[in-house]
Amino acid sequence: MTSKKITRRDFLKLSLSMTGGLSLLGGGYTWLIEPRWVEFTSNDLPIRNLPKNLIGASLVQISDMHIGNRYNWRYQIPTLEKVADLAPDFIVHTGDFISYESGQQIDQLHEVLSHAPQGKLGTVAILGNHDYGHGWKMPEVAQSVVDVLEYYGIVVLRNEKISLNGLQIIGLDDYWATNYNPEPILASIEKDTPSIVLCHNPDVVDKPVWAGYQGWILAGHTHGGQVKPPFLPPPILPVRNSSYTSGSFDLGDGRNLYINRALGNLWPVRFSVRPEIATFTLKNQTS
């Protein structure tokens, strides 16, 4: 049996074909697989003075659904059905329900939220910048989103708080939009009351508005960058503080931040940043 000598031209052809094939595979994964490959993450949520009846309770955070025409969002319906199967005690939504273009997004939101589960002890939400329409300056669009959420039994907090079975949830309206006013509600938090804060844009944690609040802040907005090169930070993040990517952050002053990677996509591209449903187990913080 004789062997054929591989010429430089043959080697270059083989290298180019392999590179093209890998690019197609990578592109297919980045566009077609990972944007719909939802990860359910598990986290502890230690809260000071948590009542005994809530120790071990479950909380699910859903963020940044971005219902609209930029990508096929219908994979979110079976994902919400999986959340329902978990039967969580609390469900919180941290904004950007739609990517607004027209009134069509309100109809699309109805289609998705008709499958949205309810927490056994309560379901609450805040708005994100995209829920305020073009330029984040259309309060009438935000009100339409609120109307849909309330139709499906979701309580919307707009610089407000609610107590659910001994847990106080504070919801801030969006930092970039027309109703941002966190100081009064944050100043009203009683320090010994077990509390969590919902805040769409994590940049707010660096603002001097917190009035000594100590506890967890659940945020979204960044999507984790959606694309993360190996061993490098995400190249694009819609925040001033580029350290706020995704996951947990100890802010060093008694506050802790969790940034959700988003269920939806601003654009249908993800690499090494899977969409997320964050699940939490409530614990009593002892120190």
Are 230 and 188 in contact by the 8 Å Cβ rule? The answer is no
pLDDT tens string 195-221: 999 999 999 999 999 999 999 999 999
Stretch (H or E) spanning 141:
helix 139-151
Burial of 21 (0-12, 13-18, 19+ CB in 10 A): exposed
Instruction: Name the region of 66 (left: φ>0; alpha: ψ -120 to 50; beta: rest).
Output: left
Its pTM stands at 0.91
- The CA–CA distances, whole Å, from 235 to 219, 232, 242, 243, 271 equal 20, 8, 9, 11, 12
CA distance 158 to 156: 6
| Topology (CATH level 3) of domain 37-285 | Purple Acid Phosphatase; chain A, domain 2 (3.60.21)
The domain segmentation of the chain, as residue ranges, is: 37-285
* 28 confidence band (pLDDT: 50, 70, 90): confident
Cα end-to-end span (Å), the chain: 76
CA distance 131 to 173: 11
Are 159 and 179 in contact by the 8 Å Cβ rule? The answer is yes
How confident is the model at residue 27, as a pLDDT? 66
What order do you get walking across the sheet with 39-48 strand by strand? 39-48, 276-285, 58-62, 90-94, 122-126, 155-156
How confident is the model at residue 12, as a pLDDT? 34
Q: Are strands 155-156 and 160-164 parallel, antiparallel or unpaired?
A: unpaired
How confident is the model at residue 24, as a pLDDT? 42
pLDDT tens string 76-133: 999 999 999 999 999 999 999 999 999 999 999 999 999 999 999 999 999 999 999 9
pLDDT tens string 139-178: 999 999 999 999 999 999 999 999 999 999 999 999 999 9
pLDDT tens string 232-273: 999 999 999 999 999 999 999 999 999 999 999 999 999 999
pLDDT at 8 over 90: no
Query: If you ran DSSP here, which 8-state letter would residue 179 be given?
Result: T
* 231 confidence band (pLDDT: 50, 70, 90): confident
Token representation of residue 190: 């009683």
How confident is the model at residue 65, as a pLDDT? 98
CA distance 141 to 146: 9
